Amino acid sequence: MDDTAEGKLQGKAADDSEEASSSSASSAPGNMVHKKPVVIIVIGMAGSGKTTLMQRLVSHLSTSKSRGYVLNLDPAVMSLPFSANIDIRDTVNYKNVMKEYHLGPNGGILTSLNLFATKFDEVVGLVEARAADLDYVLVDTPGQIEIFTWSASGAIVIEAFASCFPTVVTYVVDTPRSVNPVTFMSNMLYACGILYKTRLPLLLAFNKVDVVKHQFAVEWMDDFEAFQAAVEGDSSYSSSLSRSLCLVLDEFYKNLSNAGVSAVTGEGIEDFFHQVDKCADEYMESYRPDLEKRKAEKAQVEAKRREANMARLQKDLDDSKGQNVVLSAPRRMEDGDEEDELDEEEEEEEDDDDDANGEEERGDEVFREIGGRL
């Protein structure tokens, strides 16, 4: 695996685009779906262990001779325990962004991510250039989960990858903190939101199993009565809400894969990759056709809109019979016909009074005039 940092995105992209055009597995972003590499987007609450898990995944890939490509999308991280091929910090200085736009830390992270998202086609281009030589692309996201999951830039990043490569979202759960059923339920609701927003295969990574095993969570997901029994003693509002929600989420759990891992000890990492591969198959079987369908629907709507515009243009051309229907001011002045000019002005005034949509009407006339000239 290439552990050297990709360097600044600007400048480097030019070299890589040459490489991209010579690689058989490459294409313009979004034009072609590669079967490999599998993109793993690591999302989770702050402190759940995303960055530590990334480090573990990277070291597992290098020992198992799999080829990985690593992206850091957290602009505020002080130091990374792994080396990233592409690091958002090489392109955007989050502290300068805060100063320049007078923002607080969260606004600074969000704006940095937005700025980076505008260059994301270049990032996908870089990955595509190496697609033939890679097995996995690992993506670390900002500590504050909502900055990634609820921002336009998060959606751009996810969609850009998902339209080119099998993409799996890994939702990292802090297992020791989730032994509290209400915290567990909050986490599951968050994961549910991500699943429905991204429509990508979702893998729950129950992290820190070196501290607490994740069996209890699997049990709660498999059997809602077990979860209800766990909230029994608690009579708070949130626990009764959790009791009702577990029935609703029963269906949601069926769409999820899970793996218990320890980013610190490396426990369960093998199984984690096994689950990722299964999710990638799921992407090819169900997400991909769904994406194609959505693309086709969008193209159909666009084609209809264009057809309607052409029909309107044709009608305007027919109505004008190839003539200019609006006399332009210079021509009136050239003619020197004052009477005509006055008549025209009176007509225009009448139109303005009669027609509540005068603006639109004038727009149509200009359009017809252009049509007439054509």
Name the binder of 263 from ligand GDP, Mg ion, none, CB < 5-8 A by kind.
ligand GDP
Q: In whole angstroms, what is the distance from residue 319 CA to residue 303 CA?
A: 24
Selected from 51, 151, 178, 320, the binder of Mg ion by CB under 5 A is 51
What's the closest the beta carbon of residue 53 comes to Mg ion, in angstroms? 9
Q: Does 214 bind ligand GDP (CB under 6 A)?
A: no
- Judged by CB, which is closer to ligand GDP: 53, or 98? 53
Q: Does 50 bind ligand GDP (CB under 6 A)?
A: yes
What's the closest the beta carbon of residue 147 comes to ligand GDP, in angstroms? 12
What's the closest the beta carbon of residue 77 comes to Mg ion, in angstroms? 6
- Judged by CB, which is closer to Mg ion: 35, or 95? 95
Residue 266 backbone phi and psi in degrees, to 5: 90, 0
Q: Which residue, 196, 180, 291, 289, is CA-closest to 236? A: 180
Segment contacting ligand GDP (CB under 6 A): 128-136, 207-215, 279-287, 341-349?
207-215
* Whether the bond into 37 is cis, omega within 30 of 0: yes
Instruction: Kindly write out the interface string for residues 54-83 of this chain, putting x where it contacts ligand GDP by CB under 6 A and - elsewhere.
Output: ------------------------------
Rounded to 5°, angle at Cα 104 from 82 and 113: 45
What's the closest the beta carbon of residue 308 comes to Mg ion, in angstroms? 49
What's the closest the beta carbon of residue 176 comes to ligand GDP, in angstroms? 8
Q: In whole angstroms, what is the distance from residue 211 CA to residue 209 CA?
A: 5
Give residues with Cβ within 8 angstroms of 284, minimum separation 6.
35, 166
- Judged by CB, which is closer to ligand GDP: 267, or 364? 267
Q: Does 52 bind ligand GDP (CB under 6 A)?
A: yes
- Judged by CB, which is closer to Mg ion: 143, or 201? 143
Give residues with Cβ within 8 angstroms of 80, minimum separation 6.
51, 72, 87, 140
- Residues numbered 118 to 157 that lie near Mg ion (CB under 5 A) are 143
What's the closest the beta carbon of residue 108 comes to Mg ion, in angstroms? 16
C-beta nearest to ligand GDP: residue: 49
- What does the DSSP 8-state code read for residue 291? H
What's the closest the beta carbon of residue 4 comes to Mg ion, in angstroms? 22
Q: Does 48 bind ligand GDP (CB under 6 A)?
A: yes
Q: Is the dihedral of CA 47, 279, 165, 251 positive or negative?
A: negative
Tokens for 148, please give them. 């990634």
Q: In whole angstroms, what is the distance from residue 243 CA to residue 247 CA?
A: 7
What's the closest the beta carbon of residue 47 comes to Mg ion, in angstroms? 8
- Judged by CB, which is closer to ligand GDP: 208, or 243? 208
Q: Does 44 bind ligand GDP (CB under 6 A)?
A: yes
- Residues numbered 130 to 149 that lie near ligand GDP (CB under 6 A) are 143
Q: Does 264 bind ligand GDP (CB under 6 A)?
A: yes
Selected from 34, 89, 130, 208, the binder of ligand GDP by CB under 6 A is 208
Letter for the amino acid at 361? E
What's the closest the beta carbon of residue 267 comes to ligand GDP, in angstroms? 8
Tokens for 205, please give them. 């990574």
Segment contacting ligand GDP (CB under 6 A): 5-13, 89-97, 233-241, 260-268?
260-268
- Tokens 């990292």, residue located: 172
Give residues with Cβ within 8 angstroms of 343, minimum separation 6.
none
- Tokens 């250039």, residue located: 129
Interacting residues toward Mg ion by CB under 5 A: 50-51, 143
Residues at the contact surface with ligand GDP, assessed by CB under 6 A: 44, 46-52, 143, 207-208, 210-211, 262-264
